[in-house]
Structure 1
Amino acid sequence: MAAPGLLLLCCNFICRCFRSKTKDTDDTVLVKESNTVDAAPSIEVNSGSGKIPVSPLRVPPSPLRVPPSPGRFSMSPKLDRIGSVHLTMRQAARATQNFSPSLKLGEGGFGTVYKAELQDGRTVAIKRASKEHSDALRSEFRSEIELLAKIEHRNLVKLLGYVDKGNERLIIAEYVPNGTLREHLDGVHGSCLDFSQRLEISIDIAHGLTYLHLYAEKQIIHRDVKSSNILLTDRMRAKVADFGFARLGDNEPGNTHVLTKVKGTVGYLDPEYMRTFKLTPKSDVYSFGVLLVEILTGRRPVDSRRSPDEKVTIRWAFGKHNNDETMDLVDPQMKEAVDAKIFKKMLNLAFQCAAPTRADRPDMKSVAERLWAIRVKYLKRAGKE
């Protein structure tokens, strides 16, 4: 209980300071509060109105990576896509060597994730629900899985199948081979992420979340956006993973939130969600803002090993920014010279996403567009375009 209390105190600090200083206002317009629908209730551990500075730049289309946004229903595959991997419980156990700890990839909101080798040679990830989640999901597991199976986006981990047998519930997903974003920020995989890679990863994540909020057949709020839930491919493309905490919207006009017991990860949790139990897509936006600060600084959102004034990264970063010490926030692992203007633009966007009240946050589509505009400026300033 201490950690959430600490976060609320920090959020109060940011709330007082949030409007005290905004830099780089040469690229701002006003964005209206989103009217998108929010999600349905769930269990566990978290408005107002206003306007916010946002980039007016017309973002040029990506030549390669950002296809035009689909219509709300146009990209959903047929339901039979969920049958792309059929496994029995016995086959799943064999593929994971009886859920061997040696094949464990990590822990997620849904349960434990294992690397699995199928008989046809394919490698997949199998997520085994914890007993707590297995019991809670008994009535809704299959219907929600069928909906998640229709998600198709290059920046979202694909669901390939599931097992629902007795007390066991498994999710079979694509295997993403290059570890988590957090591991790369920690240097676990050797080389450090350079600034360009961090910018591209941020754009990938924003596009994945935008798809969930706007273009899935039913609106999906991820609810646990964090660096350990971002997987990287061999080509350093980012994929958002772990929909174990995700909630589905009902798409009814006029619905702006859902009451739900708080679930998520300390450090990334939307303070307004914690206070009101009202979940909206802006809760994901807040988490993304915290994640963006993490990407830029390399620091975890909460680090109890640091001094009290540096323990909560978003509070420490905002204080530095307010004192004109922004470039002190650059991850020291990046040995390159980082463009100060570009860095500050990304940091300003991160702070806007992590505003204490959701009305002061942009929606994910605006965030993705602004990041793309920053990318265009970065490439021009670096002489790469």
Structure 2
Amino acid sequence: MLFDHGKIKVARKFSYSELVAATGNFSQDRKIGKGSFGDVYRGLLPVPDLREVAVKEMRQPTLKRNRKNYVHEIETLCQLRHKNLLRLIGWCDDGGRLVLVYELEPNGSVSDHLHDGGTSGRILTWPQRYNILLGIAAAIDYIHNGAYDSTKRYVLHRDIKPSNVMLGEGFEAKLGDFGLVRQVIRHGGGGTPRTTVIGSMDYMDPKYIELGTLSSASDIYSFGLVLLEVATGVRPSVPGTAAHRNTLIAAVTESHRRKAILEMVDEQLRGELNQWWWQMERVMVTGLACVEPARDERPSIKDVIDLLSKHEQSPASSRYLKDTSMRPKDRLPFILTRNVALANARATSLP
């Protein structure tokens, strides 16, 4: 037994035999996903539950690190409640096995739709992508600022990427896979003690690799890459261990330098470009701000949400990162102030 089951009031403990029955003995034709730490199967719980679930069986359950991550994921998720977080239904640790049971979202992951055509072969429209990004941002804001007493501690996800974002019935975002989650006590330095570097290299903060320390800016960096990937349809890639040479960041940065950032928009969205170019541009430019090399020059998640939530077109939205006289942390309040002024001007000019 890894922890006191009586302390977990929200999620349910399953027996391994129940999950064997639910997944057809973890049948290969029930497999719906494969991650770094385990395989995910579609399951059907019997009456009285009678609902489909996603069952993740951890690999190498005897490894101390895997068992520690498993306990952290359960204990953390049982304390979190947000519409944009994937809900943990239960767990099983019978016989040394490590299994997690989640709600099953009907539309797969964001990665499925960006790169594999999704479960229905439908392409995500730009409004769907934009709302998905807003949902992910809301989930990050919740774990960074709202999940606990935010003056004392916060939660780092540590593995934000499209394959870890599931899509609900209405294609709403559900951030999941909290296997690397870390609860952090706030202190003046803003970081955490040194820790083993682990996660998805293509989405990993280079400062984390360099220093072995995490901060909320590490999650912001990962989300910046998600913003770029959702807008461009291109997976990020890091050659070897050169985390500072992410190919997606380099490509978008180069296009932006030539004042041609819209050429990076996903080919599948070209038909929507005339209507939504300003949002597409805003998402990519905000993504570039999030992946600034220096952590203190990246925006907070609240700044990101403010930027993404603006509904008006603004000349500033296409120019605010082109003024190299202002660093990103100064440019973000600049664009927000300018957008508000423009909106107010439009409102006062209406009859």
Partner of residue 91, structure 1: 18
Q: Which residue of 2 aligns with 1:234?
A: 169
**What residue is the counterpart of 2:268 in the other structure?**
333
Give the 3-state SS of the residue equivalent to 1:256 in structure 2.
coil
Q: Secondary structure at the match of 2:198?
A: coil
- 2:304 corresponds to: 367
Separation in structure 1 between the aligned mates of residue 154 and residue 74 of structure 2, nearest angstrom: 14
Specify every segment of 5 or more residues in structure 1 that has no aligned partner in the other structure, as ranges. Answer: 1-77, 305-309
Aligned to 1:196: 127
Which residue pairs with 2:103 in the alignment? 174
Give the partner amino acid of 2:52: T
2:257 counterpart letter in structure 1: N
TM-score, L = length of structure 2: 0.77
Q: Which runs of 5+ in 2 are unaligned?
A: 1-6, 240-244, 315-341, 344-351
- Report the CA distance between 1:108 and its aligned residue: 2.8
Q: Could you list the per-position Cα deviations for residues 306-330 of structure 1 after superposition, in whole angstroms to 9, with x for gaps in the alignment?
A: xxxx981111111011011111111
1:253-264 equivalences under 5 Å are 256-264=191-199
The structure, 1 or 2, with the larger RCO (C-alpha pairs under 8 Å, 6+ apart) is 1
Kindly tell me: are residues 314 and 139 of structure 1, through their superposed partners in 2, closer, same or farther at Cα, counting changes over 3 Å? closer
Tell me: CA distance 1:376–1:173, structure 2 relative to 1, closer, same or farther (3 Å). Answer: farther
Q: Which residue of 2 aligns with 1:300?
A: 235
Instruction: Give distance in 1, aligned partners of 2:199 and 2:73.
Output: 19
1:117 equivalent in alignment to 2:53? no
Q: 1:349 to 1:311 in 2, by over 3 A?
A: closer
Partner residue of 2:32? 105
Retained in 2: the 8 A contact 1:149–1:160? Answer: no
Change (3 A) 1:261 1:233: same
Task: Determine the C-alpha separation between the residues in 1 that align with 2:38 and 2:194.
Answer: 24
Q: 1:347 aligns with which of 284, 289, 294?
A: 284
Partners of 1:238 and 1:133 lie apart in 2 by: 33
Given that 1:109 and 1:244 are in contact with CA atoms closer than 8 Å, whether structure 2 keeps it comes out as no
What root-mean-square deviation, in Å, do the aligned CA atoms of Structure 1 and Structure 2 show? 2.5
Shift of 1:138: 3.6
Aligned residues: 295
**Percent of aligned pairs with the same residue?**
32
* Matched letter for residue 114 of structure 1: Y
* Cα distance in 1 between the residues matched to 2:181 and 2:69: 13
- Taking structure 1 as the reference length, the TM-score comes to 0.71
**Do structure 1's residue 127 and structure 2's residue 56 form an aligned pair?**
yes
Q: Which residue of 2 aligns with 1:185?
A: 114
Deviation string 1:7-26 (CA, Å, 9 cap, x unpaired) is xxxxxxxxxxxxxxxxxxxx
Deviations 1:160-200 (A, max 9, x none): 11112232111111111101111111223322212111111
Moved more, 354-363 or 190-199: 190-199
Alpha-carbon distance between aligned partners in 2 of 1:280 and 1:229, rounded to the nearest angstrom: 20
Contact 1:129-1:169 within 8 A present in 2 as well: yes
Task: Indicate the residue corresponding to 2:225 in structure 1.
Answer: 290
Relative to structure 1, the CA distance from residue 265 to residue 138 in structure 2 (aligned partners, 3 Å threshold; closer, same or farther) is closer
Change (3 A) 1:355 1:106: same
Residues 136 and 153 (structure 1), Cα distance of their counterparts in 2 relative to 1, 3 Å cut? same
The Cα of 1:352 is off from its aligned counterpart by: 0.5
Q: 1:323 to 1:168 in 2, by over 3 A?
A: same
Check conservation: 1:134, 1:167, Cα contact below 8 A: no
Alignment partner of 1:216 is 2:147: yes
Q: Aligned-pair distance for 1:280?
A: 1.1
